Amino acid sequence: MSPDQEILKILDLVAEKKISAEEGAELIAALDRQGGPDRDENQDASTAESGHEERAGGSDRPRGYWRRFARRQARSGAGIGDMVDSIVDGVMKEVFQELGGGFHEDEEGSPQADRPTDQRFDLADGADRTMALSIELFSCSLALLPAAEPDVVHFSYRGPELLKPTVSFEHHRLRIHQPRRGLHFRIDRGIDVPRVEVQVPKGVVITGSAELMNGLFSMEGLSARDLDVESMNGAFKVSARSLSDCSFETRNGAMEVVAEEAQSISMEAVNGKLSLAGVLKGASLETVNGRIFVEAFPGSQGDLSAETARGALTVRIPKAIGYALEAEAGVGSIHLDVHGSLRHDSRGKVGREVSMAHGDEALRIHLETAVGSIQVEDGRA
């Protein structure tokens, strides 16, 4: 464990009141005494003469600066909260400078990242009312929103300058690429998470792909076709007019999708709850760890599949829909509170299988969970 990590651990112990502030200051001082001679012997001649050590990003902070700062704060009688706040503020100012972006202090004196300017692109008139996305974001959230102007695509970014994506727009294709700096940028203390916002004119259908490493994906009031969105760590929140042949996938994060009409939709997660509602015309939901909730609106038809290894399943079916249902639970119960006729109900040594149907069977439903209950109930009329 590096000295800086040990210092952070000591500060955590003090904040949790497992040790006193005085004890914490003594431990930090002991670390400085223990690490100082060895580090001095290993320094090159120029560094030893100056008493400084050069760090990544060009910062030339005197060695042991934050250790001495912590001891001074403790001796002066400052509370641990004030001491930690001062250290964090100082480190954050250095981070902003080393990342290449500026900062300003808010009313409370805390550093805030400066905001870059926005960009606008004219959407050429013509019969083609689609816009293709080619987006790759490393540490950033992505929001797709309706634009106020009819033929203007509005791009904005909020975050450190070093992580600012490059953006271009040509032939109805919006390209956004964020540089990979080897840095998972996360600041929790009053700083907004880096965010890209794209405002799309109403009536324009979004296509293409977006890949996020860490960050929330959201879309509101728009239509999409042949859109693939992947995220390593991040939730999805979609409220769309229509979705067709769209795929949403995340490793860690919940998904919530609501659409006036959803056709051929795929939702996959390793760890996370899945939720889908709308007029469904072909949908597949799958998660390893997490609950699944589906509500079919009147007019739904086609195949609906929902599977989870560990988690409960809840499906709502309106009375106006004809359906054929097959449900299977390995370890868990199946509750049926829905209109229809029971065709098959079997209990094996492990698990239970149920099938039932109603009307013209336009909606074909398959539900499966290895560990968890299944609830099927009447939905909205």
| Better pLDDT: 245 or 149 | 245
Burial class (CB in 10 A: 0-12, 13-18, 19+), 188: exposed
Q: Residue 57 above 80 pLDDT? A: no
Per-residue confidence (pLDDT) for residue 83, from 0 to 100 = 55
Q: Is residue 173 part of a domain?
A: no
If you average pLDDT over residues 181-191, what whole number do you get? 45
**Is residue 175 one of the residues assigned to a domain?**
no
Query: Could you tell me which residue, 75 or 375, shows the higher pLDDT?
Result: 375
Domain boundary among 53, 75, 98: 98
Do 176 and 211 contact (CB within 8 A), yes or no? no
Residue partners of 46: CB distance under 8 A and separation at least 6: none
Query: Residue range 237-258: average pLDDT?
Result: 96
Task: Identify the bridge partners of residue 344 per DSSP, sorted by sequence position.
Answer: 355
Domain presence at residue 313:
yes
Task: Judge whether residue 45 has pLDDT over 80.
Answer: no
Rounded CA separation 197/217 (Å): 10
At residue 73 the predicted structure's pLDDT band, cuts being 50, 70 and 90, is: low
Percentage of the residues of the chain whose pLDDT score is greater than 70: 67
At position 324, the amino acid (one-letter code) is A
Residue 64 lies in a domain: yes
pLDDT at 137: 92
SS (H, E, C) 349-365: CCCEEEEEEECCCCEEE
CB neighbours of residue 269 within 10 Å: 26
Lowest mean pLDDT among 5-14, 103-112, 155-164: 103-112
Domain final residue pick, 98, 122, 148: 98
More confident residue, 147 or 16: 147
The rounded mean pLDDT for the chain is 79
pLDDT score for 297: 95
Looking at the domain assignment, is residue 359 inside a domain?
yes
Q: What is the pLDDT confidence band of residue 42, given thresholds at 50, 70 and 90? A: very low
CA–CA dist 210, 215 (Å, integer)? 12
The position carrying tokens 């080619």 is 134
pLDDT in the model for residue 68: 56
pLDDT for 286-324, tens place per residue?
Answer: 999 999 999 999 999 999 999 999 999 999 999 889 999
User: Is residue 120 assigned to a domain?
Assistant: no
- Kindly tell me if the per-residue pLDDT of 354 is higher than 70: yes
What pLDDT shows up at residue 19?
A: 77
Check whether 48 has a pLDDT greater than 60.
no
What per-residue confidence (pLDDT) applies to 87?
Answer: 58
Residue 162 binned pLDDT confidence (cut-offs 50, 70, 90): confident
Question: Tokens standing for 334?
Answer: 């199946």
pLDDT at 189: 40
Lowest mean pLDDT of 237-241, 276-280, 299-303, 349-353, name the range.
Answer: 349-353
37 or 296, which is more confident: 296
pLDDT in tens, 209-239: 999 988 899 999 999 999 999 999 889 999 9
pLDDT at position 284 is 97
Region 251-256: what's the mean pLDDT? 95
What is the pLDDT, as a whole number, of residue 132?
95
- Determine the structural domain holding residue 329 and report its residue range: 254-381
95 Cβ partners below 8 Å, 6+ apart?
Answer: 187
Is the model's pLDDT at 107 over the cut of 70? Answer: no
Provide the domain count of the chain.
2
105 in any annotated domain: no
| Residue 48 maps to a domain | yes
pLDDT digit string (tens) for 114-132? 455 588 888 776 556 899 9
Of 36-50, 104-118, 248-262, where does the model show the most confidence? Answer: 248-262
Question: Against a cut of 0.75, is the pTM above it?
Answer: no
- Cα 310 to chain centroid distance, Å, stands at 22
Last residue of one domain, picked from the residues 47, 75, 98: 98
The answer to whether 234 and 141 have CB atoms below 8 angstroms apart is yes
